[in-house]
Structure 1
Amino acid sequence: MKNYYCVVLLFLMTTSGIFAQVNFEKGHFITESDQKIECYIKNEDWNNTPSKFEYKETLDGDVKVLRLGNFKTLVIDNAFKFEKHTVQFDDSSRALNELSFDRNPNFKEKTVLLNVLIEGKVTLLSYIDNEIRAYYYKKGTGKVAPLIYKVFTTEDRKILYNTRYRQQLLTEFPCDAITENTILKTDYSAGDLSSFFLKYNECEGETAIQYKKTKKGTFHGRVFGGFYNSSSDTELELPVLTRSGIDMEAAWAPTFGVELEYVLPFNKNKWSVFIAPNYSSYEGEGSFFDLMVERRFSVEYSAIQIPIGFRHSMFINDNSKIFLSGAVLIDIPLTTGTGGNVTLPEGDFRTSAGTAIGIGYSYDKYSIEARYLPNRELLERSTQASVKLNQFSITVGYTIF
């Protein structure tokens, strides 16, 4: 059962892209011949500047591919705007071991797709491709110009920075409300530059459009209950120095708990982190032979179990999803004890940290999850015994906020 569960989990992790919900959202693009095409564009919440887009003419229509050579502007309503421009592009290497000794950018003319971050009387645009980050500006309908920034090195491999862009901000965008100190604190980043361009447009009496709105994560609270199936692999070091492995019986026990989840503000809300304290208990008994005499050994254990981990959601539609989870966990013991023909001091109990992997399904506010918790040692302080606890749980949850 456990091996089958792990195989299913591995399969879903490698095929998760099949289920990932990426919506086709209302938008349009403008062709090279200035024709405006209303359509639905696949919003993939890009981190890097894309080279192509998927779109549909209607929501039920066929998926088509739009490449850079076939349009000059693309807009997803209230989310993204991309424009194609021929710009001065710095192709200097950004790799630390390949940095140039020249502090000046190695500009070459190149046609690229730029992401419009702020649009107004002055517009801020960006190009991002892994380690390459370049920002541009445009005044009115004028030409797009680069904000100059370059990382370079010296012969003794000291890393230096050309921050010419700050002088550009000071001279190209004079505003009484923007001080030189404000510009000195403006980093070469989307957040800082967006704040600057929003403020400058406001200074010019214009309310600019911010296409890439600041995202915030969301919190969810959940209560859940269900059952643990627990078993243990047990070994005893007997006084006559013979080691006996004991097959302890598996047992079902109830569990209940609460979970706090934080959905991370990127990648279409597909990743989250969580903490889910819950009640866990195990009572097991087994027998073994020592010098031809049958003996019995039992374990009683309960704890507040605290898994802390991550979750990856694969959306089926707006209301339902499959999710995978992984966690590390610690126990806060409540009751501990051993019995039968062999008893151990309660001070021997100290539970090692463990791991857990899970798979579940959620519909609206309801969820069901199966979770596997492999070997955890319950008797870390003992030199006479080893009790490795294995658990498998099924829980049903309800989201309260």
Structure 2
Amino acid sequence: MKTKLLFILITLLSLSTYSQISFEKGYFVNNANKKTECLIKNMDWKNNPTTFEFKRTESSDIEIATIETVAEFGIYNISKYVRSTTKIDRSSKNIKYLTTNRNPEFTEETLFLKVLIEGQATLYSYIEPDLRRYFYSKDPSKIDQLIFKSYFVEGGNIAKNNRFRQQLFTDVNCDTFKKNRINNVSYTKSSLIDYFMDYNGCHSDTVVNLSKKRTGKAFNLTIRPRINSASVSIKNTTSSSKNFDFANETTFGIGAELEYILPFNKNKWSFIIEPTIQKYTSEETISISNVSGGSLRAEVKYNSIELPVSIRHYMFLTDNSKLFVNASFVFDFSSGSTIELKRSDNSTYDALPVKSGSNVGIGLGYKLYDKFSAELRYLTSRELTGTHPHWEVHYNSISLIVGYSLF
């Protein structure tokens, strides 16, 4: 049963990429400078795209546009990208790949740059995994990278080339700025946006802030009581006659889920930590001839705080309802737990130390109005005795979890 459930959940996770992402009103400009009104599939790109999907009308077939044929495209009131053949420095910020060269190492590439601030001076961004660069222009035909680079100096220390501040001082400055205004700018999206907004406000009333605004909440705190169907198996590595298989027990637990909604892909991904209190108590007796009294009883008292760390992906059904799937790595901290083996006269045959380990889980759930939720979660087997030389104890569970979001 658990194997089938795991297969179903993994299948649902693999299909989650087909969840709802809408086509929204937008446009693109081709190489002949012709503007086409259309509907663009809003992927809420985390990384700058090189292609996008569009439909000419609601009933039209989906087409694909590429960076080779499109000079500019945008989704109204959401995002705008312009094509530019420009120089970009791809020097890594990873300490393992830093060099002693303080100067940027430019290559000329054709990129879709995302417009963040548009005005007399325009700010752009370009993002790939492990790469984040900002560009600027005062003339759309000439877009340059704002230069920032980390590098090694003598003694193995790390220095920073903050050339972008000199670029701002020379090209994007205002007489009314205080002396230390530029020195306080950092090479981050928020700091550069603030600076370009101030500059454009100084020189012109016409400024457009196209930087991404989060829609919805960034954090959710949810109380999550649950019913667990749990079992324990005890295996003796030297004698199979001493193995125990406990029947499933219905137990209860409660957790508090703190969820951070990641700011890309239309709030469809989140990161979660969920401390949870759980208890399991059971006993089982087996007949065994080579133990005095002819029987052996195992008593398990397992108390712990689980700490699942999860990635969640939402699949929107309507504006108010959505499915979700979780993949979790679960840390477990046992307290006051015991596993004892006793003879029929109640004397102790063996006492096993409880050293709870970690395991992984996968869950499928439903959320309504961002308030009410329910989830079915399967956890893989968790070892409870560490590296005991003669005994292996495994804890298995499936949970039905309900939730109510406080905020």
* Equivalent in the alignment of 1:297: 297
* Equivalent in the alignment of 1:326: 328
CA RMSD of aligned residues (A): 3.7
* Equivalent in the alignment of 1:175: 174
Corresponding letter in the other structure for 2:229: Y
* Equivalent in the alignment of 1:227: 228
Report how many residues are paired.
Answer: 392
* Equivalent in the alignment of 1:395: 400
Task: Check whether the contact 1:231–1:284 (CA below 8 A) recurs between aligned residues.
Answer: no
Task: Check whether the contact 2:232–2:245 (CA below 8 A) recurs between aligned residues.
Answer: yes
* Equivalent in the alignment of 1:265: 262
Match 1:371 to one of 373, 378, 392 = 378
* Equivalent in the alignment of 1:308: 308
The answer on 1:247 being equivalent to 2:248 is: no
Counterparts of 2:53 and 2:349, CA distance in 1: 65
Q: TM-score, normalised by structure 1?
A: 0.81
Counterparts of 2:106 and 2:237, CA distance in 1: 71
Secondary structure, counterpart of 1:69 in structure 2: coil
Task: Check whether the contact 1:39–1:56 (CA below 8 A) recurs between aligned residues.
Answer: yes
Counterparts of 2:325 and 2:104, CA distance in 1: 48
Deviates more, 1:138-147 or 1:265-274: 138-147
Counterparts of 1:98 and 1:331, CA distance in 2: 39
Task: Check whether the contact 1:251–1:284 (CA below 8 A) recurs between aligned residues.
Answer: no
* Equivalent in the alignment of 2:365: 361
Task: Check whether the contact 1:19–1:316 (CA below 8 A) recurs between aligned residues.
Answer: no
Secondary structure, counterpart of 2:212 in structure 1: coil
The verdict on how the C-alpha distance between 1:218 and 1:97 changes in structure 2, with shifts beyond 3 A counting, is closer
* Equivalent in the alignment of 1:128: 127
Match runs of 1:331-346 below 5 Å: 331-333=333-335, 336=338, 338=340, 341=344, 343-344=347-348
The verdict on how the C-alpha distance between 1:353 and 1:206 changes in structure 2, with shifts beyond 3 A counting, is farther
Corresponding letter in the other structure for 1:296: L
> Gaps spanning 5+ residues in structure 2: where?
none
Corresponding letter in the other structure for 1:374: S
Match runs of 1:113-152 below 5 Å: 113-139=112-138, 143-150=142-149
Task: Check whether the contact 2:26–2:74 (CA below 8 A) recurs between aligned residues.
Answer: yes
Task: Check whether the contact 2:102–2:151 (CA below 8 A) recurs between aligned residues.
Answer: yes
Q: CA shift at 1:45, angstroms?
A: 2.6
Corresponding letter in the other structure for 1:194: I
The verdict on how the C-alpha distance between 1:236 and 1:72 changes in structure 2, with shifts beyond 3 A counting, is closer
Counterparts of 1:249 and 1:337, CA distance in 2: 13
Counterparts of 2:100 and 2:305, CA distance in 1: 53
Secondary structure, counterpart of 1:45 in structure 2: coil
The share of aligned pairs that are identical, in percent, is 21
> Gaps spanning 5+ residues in structure 1: where?
none
Q: CA shift at 1:302, angstroms?
A: 4.6
Task: Check whether the contact 2:79–2:212 (CA below 8 A) recurs between aligned residues.
Answer: no
Secondary structure, counterpart of 1:48 in structure 2: coil
**What whole-Å deviation, never above 9, does each CA across 1:201-228 have from its counterpart, x for those lacking one?**
2333536332233547221313333232
Task: Check whether the contact 1:248–1:284 (CA below 8 A) recurs between aligned residues.
Answer: no
Task: Check whether the contact 2:28–2:71 (CA below 8 A) recurs between aligned residues.
Answer: yes
Q: CA shift at 1:180, angstroms?
A: 4.2
The verdict on how the C-alpha distance between 1:337 and 1:63 changes in structure 2, with shifts beyond 3 A counting, is same
Q: TM-score, normalised by structure 2?
A: 0.80
Counterparts of 2:155 and 2:399, CA distance in 1: 60
Match runs of 1:38-53 below 5 Å: 38-53=37-52
